Amino acid sequence: MGERDEEFQKAKERHEFLCREIERHNELYYVHAKPEISDYEYDMLVKELEKLEEKYPELKTPYSPTQRVGGRVIDEFRAVEHRVPMLSIDNTYNEEELRDFYRRVRKAIPPNEKVTYVVEPKIDGVAISITYRSRIYSLAVTRGDGFKGDDVTENVKTIRSVPLRLKDSAPDFLEVRGEVFMKNDELERLNQIREEMGEEPFRNPRNTTAGTLKLKDPRQVAERKLEVFFYELILEEDQTSLIKTHVEALEKLREWGLPVNPEWKICNDIEDVVKLTNEWRERRFSLGYEIDGLVIKVNEHRIRDILGATSKAPRWVIAYKFPAEVARTKLLNIKVQVGKTGALTPVAEMEPVKLAGTIVKRATLHNFEELSRKDIRIGDIVEIQKAGEIIPQVIRPLLEFRPLNTKPFLPPEKCPECGSEVKKDPEGVFYRCLNMDCPAQLKQRLQHFAQRRAMDIEGLGTALIEQLVNKGLVKNIADIYRLKMEQLVQLERMGKKSSQNLLNAIEASKNRPLSSLIFGLGIRHVGQHLAEVLAKHFGSIDKLMKASIEELTSIPEVGPIVAESIRDFFSTKENLQLIEDLRNLKVRMEEETASIEEGKNILKGMTFVVTGTLKNFTRDQIEQKIKSLGGKAVSSVSKNTDYLIVGESPGSKLEKAQRLGVKIISEEDFLNMIGEKVN
């Protein structure tokens, strides 16, 4: 065997090992919730695999963990007929209806037959059917109308908990069904980003999941973290004797590497089932994802066969739907909030009321169009609901309780904060305050500018901004850099020490990467990611300012609306003045290319926080190191932090990182990561 062949053989073995190893860790994480390695170590395995496939592209297999994101954009989803229809489930809404189901089952079978029931959470997501051929992931289809669905194979492939290859013990051909869903905190994360981009937030996880599965670009799907639990398998004729109960099916699914919701229980009679429905009434809110009821399934397949199905739904299964979490309360006032871009949002202030496990006194009314359509008035008794159990919203006024002399609530003609003109968006449903200096807008813009993900000015938070603007000390963003010690010490809760700390933080922010500045300016539709793209493409604010629409739209991530918005921003006199002022105040306006170590941009796109004392670096040194390798070092931990580096006697950041699920690494891990020797 030639040297090259030998080398290739070795690479092939390593490739197979890495694929198996990554799959094993995926399974430990998603199926058994018992990870053995840190996220960092996992990422390193994937990286190694990527490198190997780069060198030997012929090693790539369709089920390699690197192939989750195919990158192909889909024109239209192909319709696929289900081999076995995906029926729906009949619903029940109370104990009586549940007992009716039980009686129907009992009546259809011999009196001495023992029947048990499996109760599972009814996840509020999107049903999916997945087919494995030769144990390899090959097709994913939505439920559609039950007979035909959409081929979403590429999109579902991006979901990390969907195995790309099943265990050898799995049958050669297998169709499984389950629910794709999104956890509440993922929805929250996406909405934070949308808010930044000036886009309307998603209303609930179910719609977001459905919308995500229908995105044409699998790369976008991969950016939204979807999850899946499987709950049914379709047995082939010759397999029916293999699996006799639902419990066995759930166990087999797990055994073959498919994630199953561990929250199922077996019940011996209807009394147990009723008890469970009561237990779940409150518990449902602690799961971290939406469930809208429970599914009660006959366990024994033999009895399922006796019961059969109607044309719509099997007779062996029933859904118990929780009573809708709706509350009534009095609408005391409608407040109009002014956002960073001047958008006016009506917010309901209500008499406090308990809803879905929390006390609610404010709810969003979304926008004036919706407010007028629903005709919600101050003084009304309203019904409120939690959409996706996250953002409370007002559903409708109860007209039978409407007091006399109420008036429809109209959009204000003048901005409630500064009194200047208000205009309706030509393309949207928003009304906006057009005054750039509006104090409400200014406060939002300052907050946006100072936040960690932008210029990262530690200590410049909401309360301080409130004071600075109200006292007239800050009239625009540039004024931050003109603040003096004498001014700061006069403010509430600002001693000499905290004032000095703030001044230091302001000074330090002058040297942030260009992308932080671009993001911090708060240009509509320019979020953190796009800011990085723009910084990289243009390299300086000046070049970005001069860019034509054509040049902007030539960047793949920039569409015409975004380009227009960037042009608009840099055509406003006030904004041009702001850039000039920031330049004179010595805020960095160029990409710091020189100091990034040549060809060593290995920490690009990663955000680090450090806590505790390190052995090899001072705080400044490690921050410099991170930056020089293209990473970002920030002062506090958030969901957007990629890694927390932990030294001796760490502070509260460690606990926060654990809570948020941020990857925690040691100084040694960090040194390994950047390829430096551990001392």
On the CB side of 214, how many CA atoms lie within 13 Å of its CA?
13
Residue nearest to ligand IVH (CB): 127
Tell me the number of residues near ligand IVH by CB under 6 A: 15
Contact 611, 646 (CB under 8 A): yes
Catalytic residue among 114, 122, 340, 653: 122
Check residue 130 for interaction with ligand IVH (CB under 6 A): no
Applying CB under 6 A, which part among 43-51, 311-319, 345-353, 385-393 lies near ligand IVH? 311-319
Cα–Cα distance for residue pair 289/121, rounded to 1 Å:
11
Q: Which is nearer to ligand IVH, 119 or 442 (CB)?
A: 119
Least Å distance, CB 175 to ligand IVH, is 13
Applying CB under 6 A, which part among 17-25, 120-128, 392-400, 548-556 lies near ligand IVH? 120-128
Check residue 314 for interaction with ligand IVH (CB under 6 A): yes
Contact 172, 257 (CB under 8 A): no
CB atoms within 10 A of CB 196: 20
Sign of CA dihedral 410, 411, 416, 419: negative
Cα–Cα distance for residue pair 641/456, rounded to 1 Å:
13
What's phi and psi for 91, nearest 5 deg? -105, 150
Output the CA–CA distances (angstroms, integers) from residue 22 to 37, 44, 159, in the order listed.
11, 10, 14
**Nearest one of 508, 522, 513, 668 to 605, comparing CA atoms:** 513
Least Å distance, CB 295 to ligand IVH, is 4
On the 0-12 / 13-18 / 19+ scale of CB atoms within 10 A, 40 is middle
Least Å distance, CB 322 to ligand IVH, is 13
Q: Which is nearer to ligand IVH, 122 or 512 (CB)?
A: 122
**Nearest one of 178, 175, 171, 205 to 80, comparing CA atoms:** 175
Q: Binding residue for ligand IVH (CB under 6 A) from 88, 406, 476, 540?
A: 88
What's phi and psi for 426, nearest 5 deg? -65, -40
What is the SS3 assignment for 26?
helix
On the CB side of 322, how many CA atoms lie within 13 Å of its CA?
23
Applying CB under 6 A, which part among 53-61, 313-321, 473-481, 655-663 lies near ligand IVH? 313-321
Least Å distance, CB 252 to ligand IVH, is 16
Tokens 């927390």 sit on residue: 644
Q: Which is nearer to ligand IVH, 143 or 625 (CB)?
A: 143
Applying CB under 6 A, which part among 118-126, 132-140, 422-430, 634-642 lies near ligand IVH? 118-126
Least Å distance, CB 151 to ligand IVH, is 18
Residues of this chain, 153-192, that bind ligand IVH according to CB under 6 A: 179
Residues of this chain, 239-298, that bind ligand IVH according to CB under 6 A: 295
Least Å distance, CB 491 to ligand IVH, is 54
Applying CB under 6 A, which part among 18-26, 83-91, 493-501, 542-550 lies near ligand IVH? 83-91
Q: Binding residue for ligand IVH (CB under 6 A) from 18, 19, 127, 391?
A: 127
Q: Binding residue for ligand IVH (CB under 6 A) from 53, 120, 456, 642?
A: 120
Cβ neighbours of residue 51 under 8 Å, at least 6 residues apart? none
In the sheet where 291-298 sits, what is the strand order?
A: 90-92, 317-321, 291-298, 117-123, 265-267
Which token pair is 422? 């208000």
Least Å distance, CB 549 to ligand IVH, is 45
Applying CB under 6 A, which part among 115-123, 499-507, 638-646, 671-679 lies near ligand IVH? 115-123
On the CB side of 665, how many CA atoms lie within 13 Å of its CA?
24
Cα–Cα distance for residue pair 208/181, rounded to 1 Å:
9
Least Å distance, CB 85 to ligand IVH, is 9
Is 122 annotated in the active site?
yes
Check residue 231 for interaction with ligand IVH (CB under 6 A): yes
Site residues, ligand IVH (CB under 6 A): 87-89, 120, 122-123, 127, 143, 179, 231-232, 295, 314, 317, 319
Residues noted as catalytic: 122
